[in-house]
Amino acid sequence: MKHIFKQGSDVKAPVLVLLHGTGGTENDLLPLADAVSPESSVISIRGNVLENGMPRYFRRLAEGVFDLEDLVFRTRELRDFLDQVAVQYGFDRHNLVAIGYSNGANIAGSLLFHYEGSFKGAILHHPMVPIRNVALPDLTGVPIFIGAGENDPICVPQETEELSGLLTDAGASVTLHWERFGHRLTGSEVEAAAAWFKARFEEQL
């Protein structure tokens, strides 16, 4: 998969996995990595699917209606890619924290839903429920930050609460942060995510 790897100054700090929104690229979320954990290594990945020229991580049939077969296939593909780059760049596969926005948050959520140990933590900006009626793996001790909009027309609050409930039921420790800027990712949401990250992973920084 097309990607950028940046070696961080602190090899113990969690490695940040950046996953952009629809129409984005591997460059988009690099400023978020700097805001959240400037000393971390970063692997930023471009989605492998194109929708009218716009990169995404999996196909959708319509706005908010996911192609679940492709979602499952692409989730495994991304899992395998993370396994591979961990060996290639020599970082600890078990020390990954995802930062995803929108479609990128949805594929990060799908990894958490499908594979135990995908991430040791995750920052999900405006995620949806990626798939329903699957048994989630044990997520005990996995901290997850969800940034959401009270007036987000794409990820509506009920769905945010549903996602939070599914992750919590699987043992994850979910922090919900609400904003009022629709589907937009604001500076204050990034600041909240950065403060959350520092509190959760301080001993590693």
Binding footprint of ligand MLT on the chain (CB under 6 A): 21-22, 60, 63-64, 102-103, 106, 128, 154
Q: How far is the CB of 63 from ligand MLT (least distance, A)?
A: 6
**Cα 110 from Cα 119, distance rounded (Å):** 11
Of 10, 64, 54, residue with least CA distance to 33: 10
Q: How far is the CB of 204 from ligand MLT (least distance, A)?
A: 30
**Cα 9 from Cα 119, distance rounded (Å):** 21
Listed in sequence order, the residues at least 6 apart from 148 whose beta carbon sits closer than 8 Å to its beta carbon are 126, 127, 155, 157, 160, 176, 177, 178, 179
114 is catalytic: no
Of 45, 43, 123, 120, residue with least CA distance to 77: 45
**Cα 52 from Cα 48, distance rounded (Å):** 13
Closer residue to ligand MLT (CB): 154 or 156: 154
152 is catalytic: yes
Closer residue to ligand MLT (CB): 15 or 26: 26
**Cα 107 from Cα 205, distance rounded (Å):** 26
Identify whether the C-beta of residue 134 lies closer than 8 Å to the C-beta of residue 106. no
10 is catalytic: no
Q: How far is the CB of 54 from ligand MLT (least distance, A)?
A: 9
Residue 16, strand partner residues = 42, 97
Of the residues 37, 114, 152, 164, which is catalytic? 152
Closer residue to ligand MLT (CB): 8 or 109: 109
Closer residue to ligand MLT (CB): 37 or 103: 103
Of the residues 37, 102, 118, 164, which is catalytic? 102
Q: How far is the CB of 184 from ligand MLT (least distance, A)?
A: 12
Give catalytic residue positions: 102, 152, 183
